[in-house]
Amino acid sequence: MADFKIDGRMKVKKLKDEFKKAFGATLRVYNGVKFADDDATLASIRQGDAKGGEFSPSAGMTCGGFEKRMKEMFGITVQVANGDDSKLADNSTMLYKAKK
């Protein structure tokens, strides 16, 4: 599994690409109720008073845990979907298994 760090300066496209490379699953990133622009930074689409910072998701983290952490740290809504983006992963699924 690839190791990558997420921070507020990261662009949406890079986050989605790194996530796909690391876990084989698709990451849907939202700005409000719409999909976020690929060229936007995570900080620019932040909602509320998120603390920011930096973290590296691990393969053993659950999809629900990852989604919650992204909301808490960066104030953005994300959803993990399977590899071909045809259905959302169950919140209890580990990130490394989400591609199926």
- Residue 97: CB atoms within 10 A of its CB come to 17
Enter the pTM of the model: 0.93
Cα dihedral 31/8/97/63 (nearest 10): -60
Domain ranges across the chain: 6-97
3 in helix, strand or coil? coil
- As a whole number of angstroms, the distance between CA 27 and CA 82 comes to 9
pLDDT in tens, 37-85: 999 999 999 988 888 889 999 999 999 999 999 999 999 999 999 999 9
Task: For residue 46, give the amino acid letter.
Answer: R
